[in-house]
Structure 1
Amino acid sequence: MTMFGTGGLGASSSVFGQTAAASTANPMKDIEVVSPPDDSVSCLEFSPPAVQQTFLVAGSWDNNVRCWEVDQNSGKTQPKAQQTMGGPVLDVAWADDGTKVFMSGCDNTVRCWDLASNQTVQVAQHDAPVKTVHWVKAPNYTCIMTGSWDKTLKFWDTRSPNPMMSIALPERAYCADVDYPMAVVSTANRGIIVYQLEGQPQQFKTQESSLRYQHRCISIFRDKMNRPTGYAIGSVEGRVAIQYVNPANPKDNFTFKCHRSNGTNQGYQDIFSVNDIRFHPVHGTLATVGSDGRFSFWDKDARTKLKTSEAMEQSITKCAFNHTGQIFAYAVSYDWSKGHEFYTPTKKNYIFLHPCFEELKPRPKT
């Protein structure tokens, strides 16, 4: 069964088509998530496969994490709950059983939100804002992995106030991803460190970035045997690098330009930051979102673009796929890439749901 029923989506599209006609806020006529955050969206995650229903959580610079239930047929959303942190929220992660959400932020802590009781408890502490949090499920342990601007990567058994392990980083943690048995962390000054999580977490190798500018996002991909083998990394310079951890051929690694203006403005091309990268859970193709207010779908194996959206009113800051790959969620809000003078407080923040399964099918081999 598809996550969006055909009839439900058709009805929603026509409704949004009418409302979007007078507004540029929803040029793709996608389904709008109700009661969006009051400030920029910093993180976005769908519930894991263990959960029967579909839930979406989003963290924001308004200090809150919100949770919505997504209707299986119509795609319409219903606000379910909300929790507040002691500062702007920087990342969220689901436990694999879907009972808890971990929230990290600028108050230097990570809190565990138990969805059944709607209570939170602090489970991790750093000396600076916690930029990333990820759930790790290994055969012999489960924990959360946290990366901070205090230049440490820590692993926590959430039942203990002290970390299981603390690893010094060469610089502040900017972005990270986990797909067992692999973790990858990118730091300030374009550092990339790959960790293996089997037995116990340990550094596997450091890799030199093929991108010349600051990294913004990183996402692990799998090979045809469904094994995590590499990652895509995006930079502020409108470029993505596809990097294998152990490439069979050095030419397997490559970079491509994205989120740039088609034409030139007085001889210059406008270049925008790549704010997030996600791989489709079924097809293995990928989505990028950027400061140009567009999302794009790509086939990395065919090295081709599959689709680019119309431009939104503001930047797209984050995106996510649900676990069946039917829904693509993306958040439209200001990302401060143009500085304070371009911030417009009257502009609303949006989260949209886009039916995407067919659009992300790989390009047929010729």
Structure 2
Amino acid sequence: MNTNNNSQLPLEIPIGDAISRIQFSPNSNNLLISSWDSNLRLYDVDASVLRVEVPSEAALLDCCFTDDDSVAYAAASDGFIRRYDMHSGVIDPMGSHDDMATCIGYSDETCLLVTSGFDKKLLSWDIRTKKSFSLSMTLDAEIDSMSLNGFKVTIGIGASAQVYDLRKFDKPNLSMEPCNGAQLRCVSSLPYAEGFAVGSVDGRVALQVSCSSNLNDTGYTFRCHPKLKDGQHHLASVNDIAFSPLVPGAFVTGDDEGYATIWDARSRKRLLEFPRYSNSVASLSYNHLGQLLAVASSYTYQEAKEIVEPPQVFIHKVDNIDLGSSSARRKT
């Protein structure tokens, strides 16, 4: 595959069910794909080769890398947290939640794996010991989304965003409703400052920045995904947000209507909107250099009238996009 062009991953065997998460490796252009079809896949984007496909015993609802390509983890519908050796394909169950495990993330600074589930628990696991979870916290409601950066974990519960310090992990450092009571669909930690962004079911994105060295605002909300339908604005749920490692302040959002859009956080202006995908945009991931953007087009089980087509993953080269311009334009 020539990554100089926008390309669809040529998967010889189609992904059999909804994609739950895509994530580039922290060190290479290997892409991890978890799916409701119970398979964890490792795709080498540079070589256009599916390196590993590991079947599991339950639907995979989230996945993450550690600090290299060789080890990955996934959260499953049977509650189990599993460790995957991506070289050998060996699976090692670490432990489980009391209900479906829904979110998972890794902190390189602490060597902690953090997971959540329908049991309303937030668990941390020390991957160096390979034992059961090291810390546990029971919350008032199920966690809908989660994002880790450094020593901080940000979670979305209903309309509330909460930030915890992994070194204390007893109570949130911050708890707020960034979208004025609207249900949150996704959270994403800022990679270049203390803060986070959230996306809501009514098409809004809110940014909260504690260290404003790179941004003028410390917190604001704007509607980024109102779509015209029958002459009226239709609000599409924001399913995922990913920040560019290449340009501080640039981020991409994906929605239920099948649109992925790159924004400038400083000006709150649209930089680029990709042509509409056939399914919802379920997950987004930049590679470690910020040159490539992976977009998972998949039904998400969020809407009753979703189009059920085979999930697809698209790779876009974005390092030649003029992200310094705040003028809105559409990629054709």
Report the TM-score, using the length of structure 2 for normalisation. 0.89
Residue in structure 2 matched with residue 184 of structure 1 by the alignment: 154
Cα 1:70/1:181, change in 2 over 3 Å: same
The CA deviation at 1:184 is: 0.8
How far apart in 2 are the matches of 1:150 and 1:291?
A: 26
The answer as to whether partners of 2:116 and 2:123 remain within 8 angstroms in 1 is: yes
Aligned match for 1:44, one of 2, 22, 25: 22
Cα 1:83/1:9, change in 2 over 3 Å: closer
The CA deviation at 1:246 is: 6.6
Residue in structure 2 matched with residue 300 of structure 1 by the alignment: 265
Residue in structure 2 matched with residue 126 of structure 1 by the alignment: 97
Structure with higher Rg: it is 1
Asked if residue 207 in structure 1 is aligned to residue 184 in structure 2, the reply is: no
Q: Deviations over 1:71-115 (max 9, x none)?
A: 1xxxx5211111223222111110113320001111101100012
How far apart in 2 are the matches of 1:128 and 1:214?
A: 22
Cα 1:275/1:33, change in 2 over 3 Å: farther
Aligned match for 2:234, one of 270, 274, 295: 270
> Which runs of 5 or more residues in structure 2 are unaligned?
328-332
Residue in structure 1 matched with residue 163 of structure 2 by the alignment: 194
Residue in structure 1 matched with residue 195 of structure 2 by the alignment: 230
The answer as to whether partners of 1:42 and 1:91 remain within 8 angstroms in 2 is: yes
Asked if residue 102 in structure 1 is aligned to residue 61 in structure 2, the reply is: no
The answer as to whether partners of 2:43 and 2:52 remain within 8 angstroms in 1 is: yes
The CA deviation at 1:30 is: 2.8
Asked if residue 150 in structure 1 is aligned to residue 114 in structure 2, the reply is: no
How far apart in 2 are the matches of 1:364 and 1:194?
A: 30
SS of corresponding position for 2:162: strand
Letter in 2 for 1:119: V
The CA deviation at 1:201 is: 3.6
Please report the RMSD computed on the Cα atoms of aligned residues, expressed in angstroms. 2.4
Cα 1:87/1:245, change in 2 over 3 Å: farther
The CA deviation at 1:202 is: 4.2
Cα 1:289/1:361, change in 2 over 3 Å: same
SS of corresponding position for 1:269: strand
Cα 1:181/1:143, change in 2 over 3 Å: closer
Cα 1:124/1:363, change in 2 over 3 Å: farther
Residue in structure 1 matched with residue 37 of structure 2 by the alignment: 62
The answer as to whether partners of 1:33 and 1:350 remain within 8 angstroms in 2 is: no
Residue in structure 1 matched with residue 49 of structure 2 by the alignment: 78
SS of corresponding position for 1:173: coil
Structure with the larger helix share = 1
The answer as to whether partners of 1:242 and 1:255 remain within 8 angstroms in 2 is: yes
Q: Deviations over 1:26-53 (max 9, x none)?
A: xxx534342441111110011112xxx5
Report the TM-score, using the length of structure 1 for normalisation. 0.81
Aligned match for 2:310, one of 348, 354, 357: 348
How far apart in 2 are the matches of 1:90 and 1:342?
A: 18
Q: Deviations over 1:324-348 (max 9, x none)?
A: 1111000111223430x5443xx22
The CA deviation at 1:204 is: 4.1
**Which segment is superposed worse, 273-282 or 211-220?**
211-220
Identity %: 24
Asked if residue 253 in structure 1 is aligned to residue 253 in structure 2, the reply is: no
Residue in structure 2 matched with residue 115 of structure 1 by the alignment: 86
Residue in structure 1 matched with residue 330 of structure 2 by the alignment: none
